[in-house]
Amino acid sequence: MNIKLNRISYSALFSGLGVFSFFLLANYAELSDRVSDALYSVGMFLFFILAFNLLGYSTIRLTTWVDNQYSVNIHRRWKLIFIYTMVMLMFFLLNYGLLVTAKFLVGASHPFVFPNGGWRILILVWLVELVILGLLLANRSMQHTLKLQKQAAALQEENNIARYTALQNQLNPHFLFNSLNTLIAEIEYNPGNAVHFTKHLSSVYRYVLQCQDKTLVTLTEELEFLQSYLFLHKVRLGDCISCNCCIASGYTSCMLPPLTLQLLAENVINHNSITLSKPMKIDLRLEEGYLVVSNPIQPKKSHESPGVGLKNLSNRCQLMLGKEIIVHNDEKVFIVKVPLLYE
């Protein structure tokens, strides 16, 4: 429907411009009466309008090709200059050809020569045509640019979602596989506690599945998840890991990427030695718009510095919140500051 409307609009524009040019040339080009009579024939009029439409549509198609090939042609500006120069020349030749043809039809002497007034009106009509054509092409170019910008924005949004999903999916298997191994051991050695373990594991895994369709969750949801998550590790490690949460209830509606606390807690467990003689306490607090998660450093013998997990979390925060996480390590305390979105 839009294509048909565009075609009708272009046809009306080029026909109207052709009629304007035709009558202006026929009346003010200082032609003889015989030449004017020849111009005012129906055949000459229709031929000029048809030729004007063909030239106009050719110009539109040519500029469409130029827009589509802009990234290639921009490095060859001489090609663009040549193309548009030829278009302007063709419109001039169309006007000039109309007058020359009329003089040929009546057998006028010197058909290629016009009085000064004829040249002036010929150039004036040509300039008017170029201005109107230039405005049309500029409008089309702007529409094409807006269309490309919308497509680029849509592609960027899709890319962000795809990147976020890929980053999020990297987090899911870690705690699940560890928890399943622990559950197997509980079923074998402590069947009674296995029931409680299974309930917490179900709660944790349900949360992970729910997070697949979310980009942000509340701090309350993350804290509730952390309680169940740490319970699973307390069963595996013994009662040697705890969490001290110093966050006022009024701030628990703040938003952050899902599974943030799971990743940070798992990072603490994976990179520190945690035993009954060396218990681990994770501290949570708010500080200047950030959730601060800190823990004492108790490195394992085969110590590996945190890398991929924190980098993924930083990328997720950058995508969703516009800020990266802040990591501070003074060899005694490891601190991660996660940006929050306040509603």
Task: State the pLDDT at residue 131.
Answer: 85
Structural domain boundaries in the chain: 2-158, 170-339
Pick the CATH number of 170-339 from 3.30.565, 1.20.1270, 3.30.70, 3.40.630: 3.30.565
Task: State the pLDDT at residue 72.
Answer: 47
Task: State the pLDDT at residue 302.
Answer: 67
259, 263, 268, 274: CA torsion to nearest 10: 70
Report which of 250, 203, 209 is spatially closest to residue 230, judged by C-alpha positions: 203
Task: State the pLDDT at residue 281.
Answer: 94
- Specify the long-range contacts of residues 195-202, CB closer than 8 Å, at least 24 apart: 196/231, 197/231, 197/232, 197/235, 200/228, 200/231, 200/232, 201/232
Token digits of residue 63: 């500029």
Task: State the pLDDT at residue 118.
Answer: 72
Task: State the pLDDT at residue 317.
Answer: 86
Query: What parts of the chain have a pLDDT lower than 50?
Result: 71-72, 170-171
- Specify the long-range contacts of residues 42-45, CB closer than 8 Å, at least 24 apart: 44/98, 44/101, 44/102
